Amino acid sequence: MNFYRKLRPSIAGVFAAFVLISVFSEAEAEPLTVAIAANMKYVFDDISKEFKNETGIEIQSVLNASGKISTQIRNGAPFDLFMSADMEFPENLYKDGFALNPPKVYVYGLLVLWTEKNVDLSKGVAGLADASVIKVAIANPKVAPYGREALKSLDYFKVREAVEPKLVFGESITQVSQYVDTKDADVGFSAKSIVMAPELAGKGKWVDVPTESYEPIAQGIVILKHGSEFNSESARKFYDFIFSEKAREIFSRYGYKLP
């Protein structure tokens, strides 16, 4: 009996340690939440699948315009990482203490003109001024970097004044895609990563927007404060994976320019 009494604290200690290990394992097994810019809609499926294959870590994504995601983060959204469509939004989050690290460029996004109607795209952006083009969809430039750069391209080709009355604004590149796909818009300024997705193969036609007509769309990633506090190991693994050769190959396949 005395021997049992002496042993009981050890058993209790082992049990407590087992409980702690179980808790930590469950916490570590929780999926990462990655907030992604709308241009990542299709490519991110491949990225997250490859990452899970390598690490076993599940990822859930939240998709929106970069500006809207930034506002959600500032309002306390529990996201672990943010893959923005620009550098400005994540840079400001870092400066204000919402991110662990300054943003690092993971890809450069490219603009295209896309239509599912019988529209002649051979004239490119300048052709949007033609009377045959009634509605042109772009992402809201206040919250979507791709929309901001679309306006710069219109300025470059000196057709903004003629095209502005035709503009239909989507809250993100995803909504622009919907306008094109439903033919509510004749042409849309979309992301090359969207039109190159296998899901959209054979849908309409597209042409590249000349890169000299807009600023390079540098897209930055940051680990957010929530991720560093509650999911630090998994968040760091995903951050590192984004710059791996496997991830770069996937991004390249979707038409992104690599840094």
- The answer to whether 70 and 93 have CB atoms below 8 angstroms apart is yes
Partners of 82 in the β-ladder: 35, 222
Q: Is the C-alpha dihedral spanning 113, 118, 123, 127 positive or negative?
A: negative
Q: Read off the pLDDT of residues 194-212 as tens digits, 9 standing for 90 and up.
A: 999 999 988 999 999 999 9
Q: Which amino acid is at 26?
A: E
Helix or strand run (H / E) with residue 106: strand 104-109
Tokens at 108, concatenated: 């450069």
Q: What are phi and psi of 5, to 5 degrees?
A: -65, -40
The DSSP 8-state label assigned to residue 210 in this structure reads P
Q: What is the mean pLDDT of residues 177-190?
A: 97
Tokens at 203, concatenated: 């849908």
Q: What's CA 125's distance to the chain center, in Å?
A: 25
Q: Could you tell me the pTM of the whole model?
A: 0.87
Closest C-alpha to 162, from 137, 184, 133: 133
38 vs 217: CA distance, rounded Å: 13
The CA radius of gyration of the chain, in Å to the nearest whole number, is 23
Q: Read off the pLDDT of residues 240-257 as tens digits, 9 standing for 90 and up.
A: 999 999 999 999 999 999
Q: Read off the pLDDT of residues 103-133 as tens digits, 9 standing for 90 and up.
A: 999 999 999 999 999 999 999 999 999 999 9
Count CA within 13 A, CB hemisphere, residue 97. Answer: 2
244 to 47, 106, 239, 240: CA distances (angstroms): 11, 10, 9, 7
- What are the chain's domains? 9-108+217-253 (3.40.190.10), 110-213 (3.40.190.10)
5-43 b/e (C-beta count within 10 Å ≥ 16 → b): eeeeeeeeeeeeeeeeeeeeeeeeeeebbbbbbbbbbbb
Q: Read off the pLDDT of residues 125-157 as tens digits, 9 standing for 90 and up.
A: 999 999 999 999 999 999 999 999 999 999 999
Helix or strand run (H / E) with residue 163: helix 160-163
Q: Which amino acid is at 165?
A: P
- The answer to whether 108 and 252 have CB atoms below 8 angstroms apart is no
